[in-house]
Amino acid sequence: MHSVRAMGRKAWVAAAVTSLVAAALGASAAGAADRSAPTTGSITIGAEEFPPVLNNFSSAGNGQWTGMVVGPALARGYKLMPDFTYQPWIFDKDCAVVSASPFTVSCTLRPDAAWSDGVALTADDFKFTYDTIMNPSNDIVSRLGYDKITAFNVISPTEFQMVFAEPFAPFRDLWAGTSTTVLPKHVLEGTNFNRVWNSCICDPKTKQPISSGPMMVESFKPDQQVTLVPNPNYWGTKATVSKVVFVPVPDSNSEVNAFRAGEVDIIYPQNQIGLRKKIEAVDGAHYTSSLGPQWEHFDMLSTVKGLDDIQVRTAIATAMPRQQIVDRLVKDANDDAVVLDNVMWMANQQQYVPNWSIYPAAGDVNAANAML
């Protein structure tokens, strides 16, 4: 496919949901709105894409909203921050490359990390998670990166090493995304992973919620609601709400209407022109957005007749009014949005080089017609 970065970066919501449940939720949306609900009591969040299952490793559950719902209950090695840095969460410090050949990475855990049932969270849980991902019988949406590991060695309860077949620069990402949560070996070993966590994040034997994060998934009613409550045994900063309820709201307009009617306290909608003004017009509403690792792009399938000609694709890229699209749509959500002129790096990253500036951001129809 030939890709045109037409809209620059999509506005990415800073932690309106995150701050309220004291968790690291990562996802993209146009903006988040809340009513400044007190940090005690129950909070209701409108979910635009309600998760069909809770297992965020699976193809059915690997979605943005599954990560947002389950994320506060299942800790990861790192929190991936909006500025693209990795903040150790279960890890007590940044994992380190200890050997270049073979490429070996060593990770150490916080000694106080534990599951909600009091069992210590150890390197065996990371090894079990890796084994679960690599088990061909399991429905795993992606094994990218894990499939380059040739040996996973548990050194001690608080240390493990990963040996790779070749140098693997994004090794931190293996334990940083919403689909890279760490699994509890002591409750999942010997179970059918394709089934046990679809309807609950719990001990399959006792049906009691299990958690390593600040919240626990108390209940899940498909197409109706997911309820989270604080994990009383969380080893980090405790949650400051008594309950968080996610309810399905199918689209942005419905979200705004539910928000205006007081049916939900927080919404996290996809952007559209005028949405920010609608939200800010609601009494007591607070809107927040920031820029992060999500972007909008326009793809052309190069196997289609006509689009198989690079001159045609180049002409379309030349004519595309990318700056106008950013100004009219993305800046409506965030004033700092810019056209993205790189297909690998965001504009606020050190490695960013505007390679795509060869195509005029304003678009040039006359130049495109000349090419055709």
> Residues 54-99: pLDDT tens digits?
999 999 998 889 999 999 999 999 998 877 789 999 999 999 999 9
pLDDT of amino acid 40: 63
Q: Are 79 and 87 in contact (CB under 8 A)?
A: yes
Question: Mind spelling out the 3-state secondary structure of 172-186?
Answer: HHHHCCCCCCCCCHH
Q: Comparing 46-50, 100-104, 164-168, 288-292, which segment has the lowest mean pLDDT? A: 288-292
Give pLDDT tens digits for 112-130: 999 999 999 999 999 999 9
What's the rounded mean pLDDT across residues 154-177? 96
3-state secondary structure of 218: strand
Can you tell me the distance from the alpha carbon of 172 to that of 157, in angstroms, rounded to the nearest whole number? 20
Q: Is the pLDDT of residue 6 over 50?
A: no
Give pLDDT tens digits for 14-51: 223 333 333 323 333 345 776 554 456 899 999 988 99
Q: Comparing 2-16, 40-54, 209-223, which segment has the lowest mean pLDDT? A: 2-16
Q: Is the pLDDT of residue 156 over 90?
A: yes
**Residue 206: Cβ within 10 Å count:** 10
What's the rounded mean pLDDT across residues 250-264? 89
Q: Is the pLDDT of residue 291 over 50?
A: yes
pLDDT of amino acid 354: 94
Can you tell me the distance from the alpha carbon of 111 to that of 176, in angstroms, rounded to the nearest whole number? 19
